Chain A
Amino acid sequence: MTAVLPDLTVTEAEVRAALGTVVDPELDEPITDVGFVRSVSVEGSAVEGCAVEVHLRLPTSFCAPNFAWLMVSDAHDAVSAVPGVRSVVVELDDHHDSDLINRGMAAGLGYRGTFGHEAEESLDELRATFQRKAHTAAMERAITALLRTDPAVDVAALTLGDLPAGEHTTDALLRRRATLGLPVDDSAPVLVHDDGTRPDPRQAELVLRRARSVRISVDGNAHFCRGLLTTRYPGSEADQAPRPEDRPLLPLTVSEGTAR
């Protein structure tokens, strides 16, 4: 019996595309955009399956190891799902927990098996916390964009249908609402608490101000982490994509000229 084998040669581009689905939870950006992917290598053939090795890098040795673990394990899952991949090694370089994390990944020990007494249950709640923050920031961007064009807008009464369709800020908000399972229909309120409920109109200003502090924090951290990565790894700016257009509202002046 003969069988026609589908072409399962894995390309580096396919691996990078898979890595593009992995998000830094804190910065709410794909690891491929912020330059955290240091290298990708693919070996082997369609017949025996391909072996992929990925190296990740972070802005400092002391970035929080729980976020590091999430990105490394998400990267492993994403690359493993690429058709034709037989084996995957994802390693984290130059981190204070590199040895621990890389050993744990290689042995398939999982989060608790890797971190032992430091890990309690799982990182699910941590991930959920930052998905909520990502939504809050997107909500603030969408509302503030509207306020910039029409300062008289009634923020408390806004519904999704009032947001300009097709705008980056609107689409970004809808995506993050979907992640949280919040309604995305036109009649749904824009300004909401984390659980999707509408605040009392008298609290609307406070809720928006608080959302603004979340957005400033996320955006500021993203800029700082991007900058630190390029200081730590000269040339890595070539691996960074500009911050997406759905986040245009923090026009940070960045003066270059410090040591590279």
Chain B
Amino acid sequence: MYSKDGEQYYVVDSHIALWDARPENQRNIHGKQFIDCFYDYHRNLSPESELWGYEEYLYQGGERLMRDVFVDDIVDHAIFQPARLAEFYHRGFGQTEEALALAQAHPDKLTYNHYWDPRDGENGLDALRANAERMHLKGAKLYTADWHGESRGWKLTDPMAYRYFEACRELGIKNIHIHKGPTIRPLDRDAFDVADVDHAATDFTDLNFIVEHCGLPRLEDFCWIATQEPNVYAGLAVAMPFIHTRPRYFAQIMGELLYWLGEDRILFSSDYALWTPKWLVERFVDFQIPEDLTEYAPITTAQKKKVLGLNAAKLYDLPVPAHLQLPDADETATGPRQPAAADLTSV
């Protein structure tokens, strides 16, 4: 729980990882390239005081994770969203058993989501069923840019992926977190295309599709899809730290999301260990859209409470104290949410 100026915020970090990118786990040069890319993100977007050394960035372990994520009791709950990256790392990037054990030791604080990949075929479906039971899965993390043998990417609309969605529906895995990396196949088209989310969300209206880093670098395509699909959500992984280096850009991202999706479908996350949640929560609570960006309405305290935790708590049935709960906004299910806030109402 975070408190500031008499307001209390129930906080859910909806995207954390327990990764191992140490050299002994790197299978090839891509394992190094991948973590180096993350580290550059970290260095480029972090305040000086939050900067980590390269060595400590490679691996944190469970104890440090608990300290980093739950320091000062700000974060109430956090959700693992592991990436497999089996082609880059011997034991994978996300450390399944270590994270799962941690979640089982702290069920009030941690939820473990697991990944699946349609290219694992029938065996993968069996594994998904077994994992759902063993891990008590409520959500899944999908990385469409993961490499897999000859394949360097897949789409949510691949026929086999639909078999997995059907299994998720049957197994009660209702929250599908999608990380759209640069999907290489088909190479002819935009690697960050989010159009497949549109189709999957239309065909599986009883599943929630949370698009991580709100579709960046295709914010515009994401917003256009999400405004039409009530079961598509924006995850703020990677978008959050812009609040420090590029606050006006962050304001515009938030303004666009609130305009196209509304306040009930945006989820805070630190993307730990890319960044840590404490400073991001503190900055977000203090944040306001600059006055000269007249095309956006100011962000309200209630909206911040929803983004920081209440929206994610609803998706994961987390027990939010009654006095901290808020009703859904009285907004349209599809289409722009705040037309009156636009500066172009005279058009």
Are the CB atoms of B34 and A120 closer together than 8 Å? no
Chain A proximity of B180: nearest CB distance (Å):
11
Residue of A with least CB distance to B150: A117
- Taking CB atoms, residues of chain B closer than 8 Å to A152 are 346
Beta-carbon contacts under 8 Å, A109-155 to B? 115, 117-123, 125-126, 129, 133, 147, 151-152, 154-155
Binary interface encoding of chain B residues 188-199 relative to chain A, with 1 for a CB under 8 A from any of its CBs, else 0: 111110000000
Are the CB atoms of B223 and A227 closer together than 8 Å? no
- Measured in the bound complex, the distance between the Cα atoms of B335 and A205 in whole Å is 13
- Measured in the bound complex, the distance between the Cα atoms of B34 and A199 in whole Å is 44
A65 touches which of B44, B181, B182 (Cβ 8 Å): B182
Residue B45 interfacial (CB < 8 Å): yes
Are the CB atoms of A258 and B253 closer together than 8 Å? no
- Measured in the bound complex, the distance between the Cα atoms of B282 and A68 in whole Å is 38
Binary interface encoding of chain B residues 321-347 relative to chain A, with 1 for a CB under 8 A from any of its CBs, else 0: 000000000000000100100111111
Residue of B with least CB distance to A218: B220
- Measured in the bound complex, the distance between the Cα atoms of B181 and A59 in whole Å is 15
Chain A proximity of B150: nearest CB distance (Å):
7
With contact pairs A227-B245, A258-B46 given, residues A213 and B40 touching in the complex (Cβ less than 8 Å) = no
- Measured in the bound complex, the distance between the Cα atoms of B338 and A205 in whole Å is 12
- Measured in the bound complex, the distance between the Cα atoms of B185 and A120 in whole Å is 9
Are the CB atoms of A216 and B253 closer together than 8 Å? yes
- Measured in the bound complex, the distance between the Cα atoms of B256 and A45 in whole Å is 56
- Measured in the bound complex, the distance between the Cα atoms of B185 and A115 in whole Å is 10
Q: How many residues of A contact B (CB 8 A)?
A: 58
Residue of B with least CB distance to A255: B245
Binary interface encoding of chain B residues 210-248 relative to chain A, with 1 for a CB under 8 A from any of its CBs, else 0: 000000111110011000000000000000001011111
- Taking CB atoms, residues of chain B closer than 8 Å to A221 are 216-217
Are the CB atoms of B37 and A61 closer together than 8 Å? yes
Are the CB atoms of A210 and B244 closer together than 8 Å? no
- Taking CB atoms, residues of chain A closer than 8 Å to B244 are 255
Sort chain B's interface into a size bin: 35 or more
With contact pairs A66-B187, A213-B220 given, residues A258 and B45 touching in the complex (Cβ less than 8 Å) = yes
Residue B10 interfacial (CB < 8 Å): no
Are the CB atoms of A252 and B186 closer together than 8 Å? no
Residue B259 interfacial (CB < 8 Å): yes
B187 touches which of A115, A212, A259 (Cβ 8 Å): A115
- Measured in the bound complex, the distance between the Cα atoms of B36 and A101 in whole Å is 21
Are the CB atoms of A206 and B37 closer together than 8 Å? no
A208 touches which of B41, B253, B347 (Cβ 8 Å): B347
Residue B184 interfacial (CB < 8 Å): yes
A252 touches which of B29, B43, B249, B347 (Cβ 8 Å): B249
Residue A175 interfacial (CB < 8 Å): no
Chain B proximity of A204: nearest CB distance (Å):
5
Residue B260 interfacial (CB < 8 Å): yes
Residue B51 interfacial (CB < 8 Å): yes
- Measured in the bound complex, the distance between the Cα atoms of B47 and A253 in whole Å is 14
With contact pairs A119-B187, A250-B248 given, residues A259 and B43 touching in the complex (Cβ less than 8 Å) = yes
Binary interface encoding of chain A residues 62-96 relative to chain B, with 1 for a CB under 8 A from any of its CBs, else 0: 11111100000000000000000000000000001
Are the CB atoms of B256 and A204 closer together than 8 Å? no
- Taking CB atoms, residues of chain A closer than 8 Å to B33 are 61-62, 96
Are the CB atoms of B37 and A210 closer together than 8 Å? no
Are the CB atoms of A206 and B336 closer together than 8 Å? yes
In the A-B complex, the 3 residue pairs with the closest CB atoms: A61-B33, A64-B191, A213-B220
25 inter-chain pairs at a CB distance below 8 angstroms, sorted by A residue, are A64-B184, A96-B30, A125-B189, A147-B344, A152-B346, A155-B347, A205-B342, A208-B347, A212-B256, A213-B219, A213-B256, A216-B220, A219-B249, A220-B217, A220-B253, A227-B245, A228-B44, A232-B40, A250-B248, A250-B249, A252-B249, A253-B248, A255-B47, A255-B245, A258-B43
